[in-house]
Amino acid sequence: MSKIIYKRILVAVDFSEPSEQAMQHAFGLAQASGAQIHVIYVIEDSFRAALPWASEAQAQVERLRAIEFEAANGKLAEFVPSPRDVDVELMVRNGDVEVEVLGYAQEIGADLIVIANVGRRRVGELLLGSSAASLLRTSTLPVLLVPPAA
């Protein structure tokens, strides 16, 4: 049996404690295998879905999206550790979590996706519970699902 060596590990985060724990697992794997870590945060594109008809509101939506995107980049940089022995790349995307995570995984040639089992969004809705289940069903890559307090 051959040894599995990861080269690129993608971690999807939502800034929750469970996603921080998932990230710690990914960093441990990266340190053991010499893999590069890519961390992605996806801003769900709820504005466009909620206001498809409101063309005059689109300019305001675009301004809000730009502000949220900039804030997410800053928060992601603070959230992700920068160990000297692991190469880390950060990515913020707009859109559907499943589509963006799988698309980015393909773009970077990821060997593994790491995601927390349960995370929460600003409004308290479950995010990674449903996203994790969806990724498990549709991913052609191995997915490491990290439970809370693992």
Domains of the chain and any CATH numbers? 8-124+141-146 (3.40.50.620)
pLDDT at 131 over 80: no
Residue 113 DSSP class: E
Tokens of 48: 């466009």
Q: What is the pLDDT of residues 9-64, one digit of tens each?
A: 999 999 989 899 999 999 999 999 999 999 999 998 665 555 555 566 677 777 88
- Our measurement of the distance from residue 86's CA atom to the centroid of its chain's CA atoms, rounded to an integer in Å, reads 18
Return the H-helix or E-strand segment holding 5: none
Residue 129: predicted pLDDT: 57
Q: What is the pLDDT of residues 59-87, one digit of tens each?
A: 777 788 888 889 999 999 999 988 788 99
Tokens of 59: 């300019």
Nearest CA to 4 among 111, 113, 88, 115?
A: 111
Give the predicted TM-score (pTM) of the model: 0.82
Residue 105: predicted pLDDT: 97
Name the E strands within the chain.
Answer: 8-13, 36-43, 88-94, 112-116, 143-146
Residue 85: predicted pLDDT: 85
Tell me the pLDDT band of 4, cut-offs 50, 70 and 90: confident
